[in-house]
Chain A
Amino acid sequence: AQKITQTQPGMFVQEKEAVTLDCTYDTSDPSYGLFWYKQPSSGEMIFLIYQGSYDQQNATEGRYSLNFQKARKSANLVISASQLGDSAMYFCAMRRVNTGNQFYFGTGTSLTVIP
C-alpha cells in the first residue's frame, strides 16, 4: 500500500521567514510523482509544486521549493519569505503512475503565518 506521512499537524512561522513542511512517502513503484497542494479555508486545492521520481534536480516554483531526497523517500516543501496569505492547510500527495494515476494524500499540515 502506498503511504504518505506528514508528521507536523500544525506549524507556525513568522512573516518573511522560511518554513519547511515535512513529507515522507512509501512506495515500491519505480515511477511516481510527488505534489504539494495548498488548501485555504475555502476548500479548493491549489497546486504548488511537482517533483517526478526521475527528476535529478529539486523542483522550484517561485517561493516554493521541494527538497527531494529519493533515498530517504522524503519530499519536504520549503516556503521562503512567508506571507500572511500562506496560512492554510498543506497536503503532500503522491501520484501512482502504474495504476491510473491515482493521488494519495498525506494528513496535511496546518500552517499559520504570524505577523
Chain B
Amino acid sequence: GAVVSQHPSWVICKSGTSVKIECRSLDFQATTMFWYRQFPKQSLMLMATSNEGSKATYEQGVEKDKFLINHASLTLSTLTVTSAHPEDSSFYICSARTVRVEQFFGPGTRLTVL
C-alpha cells in the first residue's frame, strides 16, 4: 500500500506555544487529507478534511482558529495547534486519499503539552 509519513512522531511542548505537525504522502499524490484526534483508549475522531489548494472543512465542535490546517501541495498537509494547552495533549493521525479513493493512514503524532 501507499506510504504516509508524519513528523514529528512525538512532541512535548510548553503550554502557550504552537506546534506544527506534518503529514506527507510519500509515493502518491493526495487530493484529500484527513486529520484525526485520538484520546487514550478512545476512538479516532475526525477533525477536518483538507483539500489541496482550498480551505479545510472542519467537523462540528473543532475550533478552526485553534487547529490550523494547510494543504499547500498534493503531498503535504500541516496541522498547527496554536497556543497549545494540556487538554490538547492527544494522538493526532492523518490519512491521505488517492485518486482511487483509497485512504492510507500515517503513523500518528503524540503531542504532550506541559
Name A residues whose Cβ lies closer than 8 Å to a Cβ of B. Answer: 37, 42-45, 47, 91, 95, 100-108
Contact = CB atoms under 8 A, between A and B. Distances in A.
A37 B103 CA distance: 12
B61 interface: no
23 contacts: A37-B105, A43-B108, A44-B105, A44-B108, A45-B44, A45-B93, A45-B108, A47-B105, A95-B103, A100-B32, A100-B49, A100-B51, A101-B101, A102-B34, A103-B34, A103-B44, A103-B95, A104-B46, A105-B43, A105-B45, A107-B42, A108-B42, A108-B43
A91 B46 contact: no
SS class, residues of chain A in contact with chain B: loop
Interface residues on B, range: 20 to 34
Given A101-B101, A101-B103, A43 B46 contact: no
A103 B36 CA distance: 10
